[in-house]
Chain A
Amino acid sequence: MAFVAMSLTAISCSKDDGDTTKPSINLSTPAHDQVLKIGDPAGVLLEMDLSDDVMLGSYKLEVHSNADHHEHSLKSEGNTDFSFHKEYDISGNKSIHISHNDIVIPAGVTEGEYHLMVYCTDAAGNETQVARDIILRN
């Protein structure tokens, strides 16, 4: 009896009101395999729409080399691979259009295939990520 009572109590109060819906990333620019110019002072145009059903949290951009298709056998010396990372707070928004040129590729970095990663969280900690292949050329 006690068991049944406890179970019923448990069932009645176990309301799933936690948010498990992930935010969405709609990355329009740069496009897949887009060639980006090294040393362009204007930077790379990044355009995307982020949205969540409850509340967005923050997003993070990351660029790293994919020259060896993620085997990363790194030569420790003379490494001039481009890398970039930056975090942005977008809390308070349910949806937001992002457009900026924060990623600036300085002259002298290694040409080749890179990954652009976009990570986005909502207020509850749900996370979405998008990986995009990009190509850096002089």
Chain B
Amino acid sequence: MQIRHLSVCIAATCLTFSLWAQEKSINDTLHHAVVSDSYKRSLLKRNATASELLEKDFLDRHLSGNIVQALENIPGVQSMDIGSSFSKPMIRGQGFSRIAVAENGVKQEGQQWGADHGLEIDSYNISSIEVLKGPASLLYGSDAMGGVIEIHKPEFPSKKGIYGEAVLTGKSVNGSLGTSLMLGYSSDKWMVQGRYTELHFGDLHVPTDTVVYMTVLVPLEGRKMKNTAGYERDASVFASYRNGGYKATLSVSNAYQKSGFFPGAHGIPDASRLHDDGSSYNIELPYSWVDHVKISSGHQYTWDSNILTADLGYQYNHREEWSAFHTHYPGQDMPSTDPDKELAFMLHTGSGTLRLRHFHSAILEESIGVSAQCQWNAAGGYSFLMPDYRRQTAGAFWLATWKPTPRMSVTGGLRYDWGHIDIKSHIDNNLGDYLIQQGYSAEEAAKYKVVSTATNRHFGDFSASAGIVWNPAGEHLFKLNIGRSFHLPGANELAINGVHHGTFRHEQGDPGLDSEHGWQFDALADLKWGRIELEFSPFFSRYSNYIFLDPTGKWSPLPHSGQIYRYTGTAARFWGGEVELHVSIWKNLKYNFSGDYVNTFNETSRTALSFSPPPTMRNILAWEGERWGAEAELQSIATQKRIAHNEDITPGATLLHLGGHMSFRKTGIELSIAIRNLLNTKYYNHLSFYRKVEIPEPGRNLSITLRKTF
């Protein structure tokens, strides 16, 4: 049954997704893998929206956590952490399924709507990564309303023959130890490389002895968060072939993550479940694991003044949460197999894009394309959260770029998308009986036992954008972009009706929700005078229908839950911007400043939207020599007073970080050392999953990475 659905999906889809990737391939053939400042600038000039590129050198030296945490070095990008090992990205205050992460031209599909789900990507398997901070629905469809994080495909290495990399890494804050090994072979026409990564980590250390949650004092014995240990195991193979005007890539990857849940944040806090069990590396119930398989293939054929690209992808995200069998209502029998499997999500995604680029002349090019995606989600476990559903989207787009002078380019485009979602109903009769027994009316019991409402909806919406990139003189760069984007409501926003144990709230979907849509403006000015570079990128967006969880003030009849929160559309505004200043002080000594600000506003509640990132500033003094480098960073996080209903004000903090790296020429080994939070400051992250349990961020963390490339 599953297989049949799947093949139908794949067959129907036969078209992938990445647009950018292809656009880049052109640039890549022109520039090869020459990683230089001018290359970086030429990449950034391509998009009329504010964008940033992080290259391998930078990532290698700043990977003291995971890849999302490394992205936080880009102003305007935030990391929403679940402990210290797993994170999900946020761009200018938008996260979850409102931003897209694409790898090898395929948009990553997991359970990104969920608060305690991280990004299932091997952090070591990334050569360079580009972040688009503005609307990108035009290129990526529905989910790229808030921006895109694109992980570039590996390039043909400059060296022919065998090449590889071995990485050994350790972190003190959770006793993590990891290794990543890559081996590849390349010739003129072929390259193939494989990578294996394994990381183990123990319970997370936090700089506090107790946390207060729901007025209950929860002790943290040994300043450790019990049962937050875990491990990660990733394997991937990438192959690329080029011959004349044809280029193809194939990528197969698997990411597996398993980690325990802090029992104090899983249900009502209870000190008796938090006694030190003597081991820092054991994973006991409750825990979760996720297995992500992804296969993608890209093809590009260039002839005359045309480039035809096709990208295909299939991925399977399988997540399970295990917790000793429990039920809040009598009557439910313990399952005979896997009695402790609380929740399972099995999400299949097939996707494809076909695009033709035609160059009319040196100054005008046009692209047309179609893309489609097909998803199929199945749920399991003795508890219920996310329904079974099927979702199909398809879009057609047109883009044009006009370059009246070599210093100016004007781009514009239109796209229309169709979406269909079919959500299965789910009825919990035990819950119905329980409610009757508790004295609720038959009518109420009938209403609340429907934990997922059958929903069958069709959507259609358009995206558009127009932008200009202008390089008036020298290296100054200006960008201006206006775009309309949209986002289809998720299955949870439409259909669910029950307590989400990750947020501990009774969340209710609305099957009548419309798609989210809005207009976004963004601009960028990048000015360079000799040793000084100043970049300023403001943005403003307004959504006429932005879905948020609205506290209804109506009490839920379900046990252990307060009021009902309903997914509701509201008009909302976002504005803010980033500032960067780079100064070459003397020889290799550099001073970098960056700051970001996001203001979110819900026009209905007249408050901020939830998870509004606090203003942050970074002052960095760095020495970048040929063989060694060192940097000191002062990170200042402002107090976040602008909160949504039922969020807490998060006090600000000032943190000191140190880092250094050195390469040993003879051996080809590079050593990187970083100390995050040197002063062991106790602080909270407004965007952390553990924030509402009042668990502070990790304390001082020494990380050491040894890397040998050959």
A residues with a Cβ closer than 8 A to B are 2-3, 6-7, 10-11, 14-20, 22, 57-58, 60, 62, 64, 66, 69-76, 79, 83, 85, 87, 115, 117, 119, 121, 123-127, 129-131
B563–A119 touching, CB < 8 Å: yes
B268–A70 touching, CB < 8 Å: yes
- The answer for the CA separation of A60 and B562 in the assembled complex, in Å, is 8
- In the assembled complex, how far is the CB of residue A51 from the closest CB belonging to chain B, in whole angstroms? 16
A127–B563 touching, CB < 8 Å: yes
A71–B644 touching, CB < 8 Å: no
B214–A70 touching, CB < 8 Å: no
A125–B606 touching, CB < 8 Å: no
Residues of A within 8 A of B334 (CB): 73
- In the assembled complex, how far is the CB of residue A52 from the closest CB belonging to chain B, in whole angstroms? 13
B559–A18 touching, CB < 8 Å: no
- In the assembled complex, how far is the CB of residue A16 from the closest CB belonging to chain B, in whole angstroms? 6
| B interface, over-half SS | loop
Question: Which 4 A-B pairs give the minimum distances between C-beta atoms?
Answer: A125-B551, A72-B326, A18-B607, A18-B606
Decide if B552 is an interface residue (CB 8 Å cutoff).
Answer: yes
B550 (CB) vs chain A CBs: closest residue: A125
Total interface residues on B, CB under 8 Å, equals 52
- In the assembled complex, how far is the CB of residue B332 from the closest CB belonging to chain A, in whole angstroms? 7
- The answer for the CA separation of A51 and B557 in the assembled complex, in Å, is 24
Residues of B within 8 A of A14 (CB): 573, 575, 599, 601
Residues of A within 8 A of B646 (CB): 22, 125-127
Residues of B within 8 A of A130 (CB): 214-215
B607–A16 touching, CB < 8 Å: yes
Which of A69, A79, A123 contacts B330, CB < 8 Å? A79
User: When A7-B538, A7-B540, A10-B575 are in contact, do A70 and B270 touch as well, CB less than 8 Å?
Assistant: yes
Which of B332, B438, B523, B542 contacts A3, CB < 8 Å? B523
B562–A127 touching, CB < 8 Å: yes
Decide if B325 is an interface residue (CB 8 Å cutoff).
Answer: yes
- The answer for the CA separation of A87 and B439 in the assembled complex, in Å, is 13
- In the assembled complex, how far is the CB of residue A29 from the closest CB belonging to chain B, in whole angstroms? 15
- In the assembled complex, how far is the CB of residue B234 from the closest CB belonging to chain A, in whole angstroms? 33
- In the assembled complex, how far is the CB of residue B618 from the closest CB belonging to chain A, in whole angstroms? 24
B563–A85 touching, CB < 8 Å: no
- The answer for the CA separation of A79 and B332 in the assembled complex, in Å, is 13
Which of B438, B606, B647 contacts A17, CB < 8 Å? B606
Residues of B within 8 A of A17 (CB): 606
Query: What are 21 A-B residue pairs whose CB atoms fall within 8 Å in the complex?
Result: A14-B599, A16-B606, A18-B606, A20-B645, A64-B560, A71-B324, A72-B327, A74-B327, A87-B555, A119-B555, A119-B563, A121-B553, A124-B645, A125-B553, A125-B563, A126-B551, A126-B646, A127-B551, A130-B214, A131-B214, A131-B269
Which of A58, A71, A76 contacts B555, CB < 8 Å? A58
- The answer for the CA separation of A19 and B553 in the assembled complex, in Å, is 14
B601–A16 touching, CB < 8 Å: yes
User: When A64-B559, A71-B326 are in contact, do A76 and B645 touch as well, CB less than 8 Å?
Assistant: no
- In the assembled complex, how far is the CB of residue A28 from the closest CB belonging to chain B, in whole angstroms? 13
User: When A6-B521, A20-B607, A119-B555 are in contact, do A74 and B573 touch as well, CB less than 8 Å?
Assistant: no
- In the assembled complex, how far is the CB of residue B501 from the closest CB belonging to chain A, in whole angstroms? 11
A3–B327 touching, CB < 8 Å: no
Decide if B29 is an interface residue (CB 8 Å cutoff).
Answer: no
Residues of A within 8 A of B328 (CB): 72
Decide if B216 is an interface residue (CB 8 Å cutoff).
Answer: yes
B604 (CB) vs chain A CBs: closest residue: A18
A73–B645 touching, CB < 8 Å: no
Residues of B within 8 A of A126 (CB): 551, 645-646
- The answer for the CA separation of A72 and B642 in the assembled complex, in Å, is 38
- The answer for the CA separation of A26 and B214 in the assembled complex, in Å, is 13
- The answer for the CA separation of A60 and B647 in the assembled complex, in Å, is 20
Decide if B272 is an interface residue (CB 8 Å cutoff).
Answer: yes
Which of A16, A22, A125 contacts B642, CB < 8 Å? A16
What per-residue 1/0 map shows which CB atoms of B561-581 lie under 8 Å from chain A? Answer: 011000000000101000000
- In the assembled complex, how far is the CB of residue A38 from the closest CB belonging to chain B, in whole angstroms? 19
Residues of A within 8 A of B647 (CB): 20
Decide if B491 is an interface residue (CB 8 Å cutoff).
Answer: no
- In the assembled complex, how far is the CB of residue A62 from the closest CB belonging to chain B, in whole angstroms? 7
Which of B268, B330, B438, B552 contacts A76, CB < 8 Å? B330
